[in-house]
A and B are shown apart, each in its own frame.
Chain A
Amino acid sequence: MKFTRYIAIAALGLLLAACGKDKGPAEAAIAAATSAVDGVREDGMKFAGEQFTQLEAALNSAKDNLTKGEYKAALEGAGGIAAKAQDVAKAAADKKAELSASWEQVNAGIPQMMEGLKGRLDILGQAKTLPEGLDQSKLDGLKAGYDEAMGMLEQARSAAASGDFSKAIEAGGVIKAKATEIASALGMTPAQ
């Protein structure tokens, strides 16, 4: 009876030792995985949101396994995260470059567009009488619309400067629509 008891205690000791043996490597792997995820967090969230969410879910799952003492599962889960983090980094970099290029095109085009409108508004501002279909009140409204569009351009540029290219591009679309409205009221149309 005593002998059996000793065998059981020894077996338990071996089991605990085996489990404990995996704890250190699991903790190290989790730490490395956490660092990899943190390294891609900012751009990953902005430019590859879905992929980043999956990456973070995988990390949290590995952490849960560590907490529950399932060191082998934690180690396995953490093992692939660094490579996935690199994939997220690449996807984010590609998307950022794409959006940045789109914004550059918008940012280059809007001043050209607004210049033409400003030119016409300035000329009409010098006119002693206004053309048929346009009165002072309407002209003042168009000038206010122009100023509003220019204000929005500054906001769009700020958004782009902070990396929010999607917001900047969206604002560019609104500015273009506003400018088209003003142009139409002035009898101007997009260049052919």
Chain B
Amino acid sequence: MSTNEKPDEKPADSFKFEQWHEVVSGDTLSKIAKKYYGDPTLYNKIFEANRDQLKNPDLIKVGQKLRIP
């Protein structure tokens, strides 16, 4: 599995586990889903987990930090 890229520091909460992905040029939610889940069709899981910053699953920006559920 890939290494974890973390967002800006938040107060420590050692009871939760998470994984983040920083969007790079060429990324799509399908490619990201393929990377973390092995299945690109599961991209909607990532979209739903990031509705606070994503309005459209086809519109992601370089530098965005997406939570991978």
Which chain A residues have a beta carbon within 8 Å of chain B's beta carbons? Answer: 108-110, 112-113, 116-117, 119-120, 123-124, 126-134, 176, 179-180, 183, 185-192
Beta-carbon contact of A188 and B39 below 8 Å: no
Beta-carbon contact of A116 and B17 below 8 Å: yes
Closest A residue by C-beta to B15: A109
Q: Identify which of B6, B13, B38 contacts A130 (C-beta below 8 A).
A: B38
Q: Using Cβ atoms and an 8 Å threshold, which residues of chain A touch B14?
A: 109, 190-191
User: Considering the chains assembled together, what is the distance between the CA atoms of A128 and B42 in angstroms?
Assistant: 9
Beta-carbon contact of A120 and B15 below 8 Å: no
CB distance from A130 to the nearest CB of B (A): 4
Q: Identify which of A128, A130, A133, A190 contacts B17 (C-beta below 8 A).
A: A190
CB distance from B48 to the nearest CB of A (A): 11
Beta-carbon contact of A113 and B17 below 8 Å: yes
Beta-carbon contact of B16 and A190 below 8 Å: yes
B1-43 to A contact mask, C-beta < 8 Å, 1/0? 1111011011011111111000000000000001111110110
Q: Using Cβ atoms and an 8 Å threshold, which residues of chain A touch B37?
A: 123-124, 127, 130-131
Instruction: State which size class the interface on B falls in.
Output: 20 to 34
Beta-carbon contact of B19 and A189 below 8 Å: yes
Q: Identify which of B1, B16, B34, B69 contacts A133 (C-beta below 8 A).
A: B1
Which chain B residues have a beta carbon within 8 Å of chain A's beta carbons? Answer: 1-4, 6-7, 9-10, 12-19, 34-39, 41-42, 45, 69
CB distance from A106 to the nearest CB of B (A): 9
Closest A residue by C-beta to B41: A128
Beta-carbon contact of B1 and A189 below 8 Å: no
CB distance from A54 to the nearest CB of B (A): 38
Beta-carbon contact of B35 and A188 below 8 Å: no
Q: Taking A124-B37, A127-B37, A131-B37 as contacts, is the C-beta distance between A191 and B42 under 8 angstroms?
A: no
Query: What are 25 A-B residue pairs whose CB atoms fall within 8 Å in the complex?
Result: A109-B14, A113-B15, A113-B16, A120-B19, A123-B42, A124-B38, A127-B39, A128-B38, A128-B39, A130-B39, A131-B34, A131-B36, A180-B17, A183-B17, A187-B1, A188-B19, A189-B18, A189-B19, A190-B13, A190-B17, A191-B10, A191-B17, A192-B6, A192-B10, A192-B12
User: Considering the chains assembled together, what is the distance between the CA atoms of A128 and B3 in angstroms?
Assistant: 23
